[in-house]
Structures are given as C-alpha cells and as structure tokens.
Structure 1
Amino acid sequence: MRETPRKSGQCIVTRSGEVQLASRSSVRRYRATMNSESIARAGFLRVGAYAAVSVAALLGASAAAAWRLLTRGPGRTYPPYRLETSSGWKKYHGNPVFGRDLEPCFDVCVLREGALLRMWFSWWSRGAIGLTESPDGTHWSAPILVLPPNSATGWEDRVNRTVVVRRPDGFHMWYTGQTSGSSGIGHAVSEDGRIWTRTTAHPVLKADHPWEKASVMSPHVLWDASSELFRMWYSAGDQDEPDATGYATSRDGLRWTKLVSNPTFVGSGGDSWDRDKVTGCQVIPYNRQYLMFYIGFYNTRSAEIGMARSPDGVSGWRRYAGNPVITPSRDSRAWDYDAVYKPFALPTGNGWMLWYNVRRGDLEQIGLAIHRGRDLGIQGCPIRSPAVRVAATSE
C-alpha cells in the first residue's frame, strides 16, 4: 500500500527552500511571516512547480514524476509532501551514530546481551565483517575485524551483509560472500561473537533459480524452537542491488530448502516508492504475526525503509499503509541525503530502536531512528505455521 498525502489547497515553500502542501489558512499565516523577497521566491518556485506538472501532463508523465524532477533532480524520487519519517519514528539528533571516522560501512545486525549492544557490520575497505559494542546504541566502541574475506574458496573475495543468531550452542553467523560477478551465503560459528570459524568452504545457499540470477545475499535468520527450524529470508537477483526476497528453511543451518513459490515478497510496481525492488529485510515475531522491515527501491539509486506484515512470515504480506517510515533528508547538505538502506530494529523497554545505513555520494554510515512506544500501528492477526511447499537446493 502507498501512503496517501493529505489533500490541501496550495503549495508553499519554506525558508529552507522546501516545497510543501498546506491548507489555505496555513498559506495565509505563512505569507504573513515572510518578507517580500521570500514571497517573490516562493511565488517563482510555485509557478515552476505548476509548470513542471503541466509539462509532465502534456508529455504523458505523472504529476508525481514532475514533483520528483523539480525537487530532487534526475534519479531522486521523494515527493515534497513526504516527511523524513512517519508513524512515530524519529531520526536520532546525533546521527550518524557510527562510521564518522571509518571508510564506508553498511548493513548491520544488532544483538542485545545483558546491558550491552553488539553490532556486526559490513566494513567496505576491509571487505570484511566488523564488530563494535555500545551501552546505549548511540556511542559505539572502536571496531574490530571478526570475519575476513577468503579468496582461496573462490566465492568470497569479500564478505558483508551478515546476520548473527545466538543459541545455547553458541553464535551462528550467516554472511554474504562475493566475487565480481556473483554472491552466495556462507555460515560460521563462534563461542564469543568475536572469533569465528567457517563451517564449510562452500556457500550454504547459492543462486540456482532464474529469478535469483547470479546472486543470493543479505540473509536474515530466525530460530523457530516450536518447529526446530532455522528460517531464512534472503535477497536475490542483481549483483549491485538484488531484486526481491526469498524464503528457505533448514534443520542444521547448513542444508537449506527453498520455497517453491519464491520470491515471497516483490516490488509493488506502478509509481510506488518501492516499485522496483524490495530487499535487505529483517523479519521478527510481533503482535501475534510477523513484522518485516525492508528496503524499498524506486530505482537502483533511490531507497527508503518500509514495514509489512504476514500471518506466517511467508505468505500474505501486506504493506503498512504509512510507508515509507524512514526516508532520506530533503536537505541537500545533510549526511543522509541520497538513500537509506538495511534496517535492523530492536524493541526497548518503552519503544524501538532501528539502525540503518545511509548513503551520501559514495559514503555510507550508520544512523539510528527511535520510536516511542511499542505499538507500531500494525494490526495484529493470529500467527500460523507456514503450510508451504519447498524445493531442495544444493549445499
């Protein structure tokens, strides 16, 4: 579903140059506070906006496309009436919380262990997985490298996009191994989350279906104690940014079977914010159902974060009506101007914390969004066990 903007009378342009939709009374109040130069500038931009929409209509393009061209330029896709966050989410005022002094870092996984938060992240310049720790989710320790690449295997010249699960037998990590033309998913184990041992020299999940093309990556894994299964949601398709989300299960974390009807979650099409690709998801049990945080792509360079729900985590996914919930900044000088990616959320005592990576140019850093209150506005429904067919895949 796509969020529907509130109907309004006119457009206004704020002091920061931001075009907004507002009621006629709001426009009157706004004009009263502006000097003559600002009024002239706002009028010029309004004329330009209406002209852009008119030209788009003559050319057969949508009004939304004209707004995108006017307010963002080529490749930008965020209409001016959309806030940077919605549905109670707020960006942390001290962002970015991690990566200021590092080369690009991205795609995190966060676990809470007692009073400590531990974040495994993709360390681009090292082609490796790093680890950092924090008492509060905002102040993070100097990172250490915990899983280096291994070019000798032929499929993991660099490693990234990881998920970590802790069980009584220790820590399990599923990670993405990449070459220049393909991606697969590997497995490693650890007693302390710092020193890792690969369990196999081969990927435990690889692309072997047409929709997966040459790449599977970005695993998210849950241990389902009731069925004694590891459950994996993964992204597959293009090597640069994968296309859609698939689902697989395993008894031991090494031998996986894929859903026959994969992909289980795809782009919404049309002119929606997530029309092109839906990837990099996190799935968690929530409010008697399964909640997915995911990256939605309008195109390869334009990404935002949304939510969806399913009764079994496999079928019947319904997008949240308030999507997207986190979008890039509309300030061209901001650190998070270009795109927001890969959410990872944890519940807190009185709300939620959600870490995500942000791109400005070629630099990626880690930001934080906070939600006050545990209720995310997602309607509950009874959890049911997935009754789906799976097909064996190669080890």
Structure 2
Amino acid sequence: MRFADTTAGVPYAKDPAVVRYKGKYWMYYSRGPFMDGRWGIGIAESSDLEHWTKVGEVPIEQECEAKGICAPGAIVLEGRIHLFYQTYGNFPKDAICHAVSEDGLTFAKNATNPVFAPTGDWNNGRAIDADVIEHDGRLLLYFATRDPLGEIQMQGVAAAPIHSDYGREDWTQICAESILQPELAWEGKCIEAAAMHKRDGKLYMFYAGAYNNEPQQIGCAVSRDGVRWERLFTEPLLPCGEPGSWNASESGHPFLFEDEDKRTYLFYQGNNDHGKTWYLSKVEIGWRDDIPYVMEV
C-alpha cells in the first residue's frame, strides 16, 4: 500500500488514522499546506485497506482552527466516529480539538474547541498528535507536548468519562510529568504520535521516536494503568528503509488499527526525499506471547 494526497499536485499525506465504519474503511490524514498555506485533514475510503480514494476534507471552520488543522486520531464510539485533532501554526498554543460524524464525511465540531491543552511546569502548554482509547470506563487521551524550552517532545495523558461530550470541562490531566520521553539514542529529542492498542488487559503504545527525517522510526511500550510505561524494545520495532527504498528517510507517525477479524495493522508515514513528499503505508502486526512483531510481507 502506498497512498498520498495529490490534490495540489505534490504527493503528500502524513499522520494516518483508520477506522471501520458502516461497511467501509475510513482514513483521516494530514494533507500538506499547498492549497492555501494551511495544513488540513483529508478523508479517504477503502474497501480492502489496500486501495484508497480521497473523498473529502474536514473543513476549517472555527476560530481556533484558522491557521490550520492536522494530525487526527479517530475512534468509533456509540455508533459515531470521533475525531481528535490538533490546531497548527500557534506553536505553544496548539491544542487538541474534537469533532463527531455519523457518515464519515461530515463532522460537527465541539463547541468548546480546543478541548485540551496540558498544564504544569514540566511542559510548554502545547498538545499535538492525539490518540484515544477506552480503558477502565474512561477515554484516555494521549498527546505529545514539549518541555518548557520547547526542545524535547514527550508524551502526556488525560482522561474523560466515557459517556461524556469530550468537551473542555470533561478532561482531566492524569500525569504530573511526562509518561514517556526520549531516552534511547535512536529516539533523539522526540517521542510523539502515540498509537494506542488494548490487548489482554494491557495497553500498548506504538510511538514515533526522533523528529521527522532524522530518521523518525517506530517503537513500542506497554502499560497496565495507562500512565506508567515500559519499553518493549531498545531498537525500533519498525525502522526506516534501506538506502534507495521508498521510506529511506523515515518510517514514522504510527496508527494501530484492529480490524473486525482481530488482525492488527500499523499504518505509518514515510518518504525518501527528506520530506519533499510523503506517503502512507501499513504493515501487519503479529503477536507472540503478547509481544508485537512486524509480519513478513
């Protein structure tokens, strides 16, 4: 699978999020700022997870979205698609927004957007790269933020009641420091793009290590409570490609999708020209003794 948004003539798609809804697969992704100078969120659909067709965009409507939106996370809850995405272009003021859809194409924005930004002296107030998962009767929201100097990207988490509106008043930050920050050499100064999965009572976080094209590569950590995390590997689970391959510059920004047959797929972004173009692809993830591995094609 290779997918890119070519609306503006440049193959460019990042930050995938995939759900199955009403008999189709839906993918939400960041499309480049080539049309009006702003990042946006594209919508594609598929019947087989392999062949994707762009079918729309999430409109930029609210005042907080004026400079752009991107990096969606998606989940189906109570018969609707919930999209959690970030504002863009406000750097330390960028925050997480929420919208819902009953058809996959049209979204009603949360009136309280942005619904979440972190607090505390351990971060700079920014929240990006949202993903959510249901756990112990709550919806957990994972986000990337930075240290007060804006240099180190790291992970945090908030929670809301599962049957809430997911508005600004519903979220409570449940960490007083970063829950996962870069420590390994290949992670550089960045851990971002948490991609959440629940299996046998445990939570798994597939994450992107290092900033884009350094190269960014994908690791994995595990937790029982959603706050305390332990890495499963010291090397990337999904590394960038060999020189000359389509993803030689990066394999990054993951999203973990579990299909109705319980097979799991890791969607991710890659390129081989240091970010002039971007494509989305996927690999199937197998499980051996609750440890994920990349299945051979």
Range into which the TM-score falls when normalised by the shorter chain: 0.7 to 0.9
The structure richer in helix per residue is 1
2:74 to 160, 164, 168: 164
Q: What is the match of residue 58 of structure 1? A: none
Q: What is the match of residue 285 of structure 1? A: 198
Q: What is the match of residue 104 of structure 2? A: 193
Question: Does structure 1 retain, via aligned residues, the 8 Å contact 2:4–2:11?
Answer: no
What amino acid is aligned across from residue 247 of structure 2 in structure 1? D
Distance 1:347-1:180 versus aligned 2 partners, 3 A rule: closer
- Counterparts of 1:168 and 1:297 in 2: how far apart (Å)? 35
Q: CA deviation at 1:351?
A: 4.1
Q: Secondary structure at the match of 2:17?
A: strand
**Number of residue pairs aligned between Structure 1 and Structure 2:** 276
- Counterparts of 1:242 and 1:291 in 2: how far apart (Å)? 22
- Counterparts of 1:299 and 1:121 in 2: how far apart (Å)? 16
- Counterparts of 2:238 and 2:69 in 1: how far apart (Å)? 27
- Counterparts of 2:203 and 2:236 in 1: how far apart (Å)? 18
Alignment of 1:354-373 (within 5 A): 354-359=266-271, 360-362=273-275, 363-371=277-285, 373=286
Q: What is the match of residue 105 of structure 1? A: 13
Give the structure-1-normalised TM-score.
0.63
Q: Could you give the per-residue CA deviations for residues 181-236 of structure 1, whole angstroms, max 9, x where no partner exists?
A: 34111111222121112122541112433333152111111234x52x22111111
Distance 1:206-1:330 versus aligned 2 partners, 3 A rule: same
Question: Does structure 2 retain, via aligned residues, the 8 Å contact 1:309–1:378?
Answer: no
- Counterparts of 1:376 and 1:356 in 2: how far apart (Å)? 24
What amino acid is aligned across from residue 143 of structure 2 in structure 1? Y
What amino acid is aligned across from residue 131 of structure 2 in structure 1? H
Question: Does structure 1 retain, via aligned residues, the 8 Å contact 2:215–2:240?
Answer: no
Distance 1:258-1:156 versus aligned 2 partners, 3 A rule: farther
What amino acid is aligned across from residue 274 of structure 2 in structure 1? G
Q: What is the match of residue 236 of structure 1? A: 145
Q: Secondary structure at the match of 1:302?
A: coil
2:238 to 323, 326, 331: 326
What amino acid is aligned across from residue 108 of structure 1 in structure 2? P
Q: CA deviation at 1:338?
A: 0.9
Q: Does 1:346 align with 2:261?
A: no
What amino acid is aligned across from residue 281 of structure 1 in structure 2? A
- Counterparts of 1:279 and 1:206 in 2: how far apart (Å)? 15
- Counterparts of 2:109 and 2:238 in 1: how far apart (Å)? 35
- Counterparts of 1:240 and 1:156 in 2: how far apart (Å)? 23
Q: CA deviation at 1:273?
A: 1.4
Q: What is the match of residue 181 of structure 2? A: 266
Q: Secondary structure at the match of 1:194?
A: coil
- Counterparts of 2:110 and 2:47 in 1: how far apart (Å)? 31
Distance 1:116-1:260 versus aligned 2 partners, 3 A rule: closer
Q: What is the match of residue 124 of structure 2? A: 213
Q: What is the match of residue 157 of structure 2? A: 247
Q: Secondary structure at the match of 2:140?
A: strand
Distance 1:312-1:156 versus aligned 2 partners, 3 A rule: farther
Question: Does structure 1 retain, via aligned residues, the 8 Å contact 2:158–2:175?
Answer: no
Q: CA deviation at 1:298?
A: 7.2
Distance 1:287-1:275 versus aligned 2 partners, 3 A rule: farther
Alignment of 1:1-395 (within 5 A): 95-99=1-5, 102-113=10-21, 115-125=23-33, 126=35, 127-145=39-57, 147-150=58-61, 153-154=63-64, 156-168=66-78, 170-181=80-91, 182-200=93-111, 202-224=113-135, 226-227=136-137, 229-237=138-146, 243-251=153-161, 252=164, 253-254=166-167, 255=169, 256-269=171-184, 272-297=185-210, 301-315=214-228, 317-321=229-233, 323-331=235-243, 333-348=244-259, 349=261, 351-359=263-271, 360-362=273-275, 363-371=277-285, 373-375=286-288, 377-378=290-291
What amino acid is aligned across from residue 113 of structure 1 in structure 2? Y
Q: Which ranges in structure 1 are unaligned for 5 or more consecutive residues?
A: 1-94, 380-395
Question: Does structure 2 retain, via aligned residues, the 8 Å contact 1:148–1:159?
Answer: no
- Counterparts of 1:351 and 1:247 in 2: how far apart (Å)? 26
Distance 1:319-1:377 versus aligned 2 partners, 3 A rule: same
- Counterparts of 2:280 and 2:123 in 1: how far apart (Å)? 28
- Counterparts of 1:273 and 1:122 in 2: how far apart (Å)? 25
The structure richer in strand per residue is 2
Question: Does structure 2 retain, via aligned residues, the 8 Å contact 1:231–1:249?
Answer: yes
Give the structure-2-normalised TM-score.
0.82
Q: How much is the aligned-residue C-alpha RMSD, in angstroms? A: 2.7
Q: CA deviation at 1:260?
A: 3.9
Name the % identity.
21
- Counterparts of 1:376 and 1:327 in 2: how far apart (Å)? 22
- Counterparts of 2:71 and 2:151 in 1: how far apart (Å)? 12
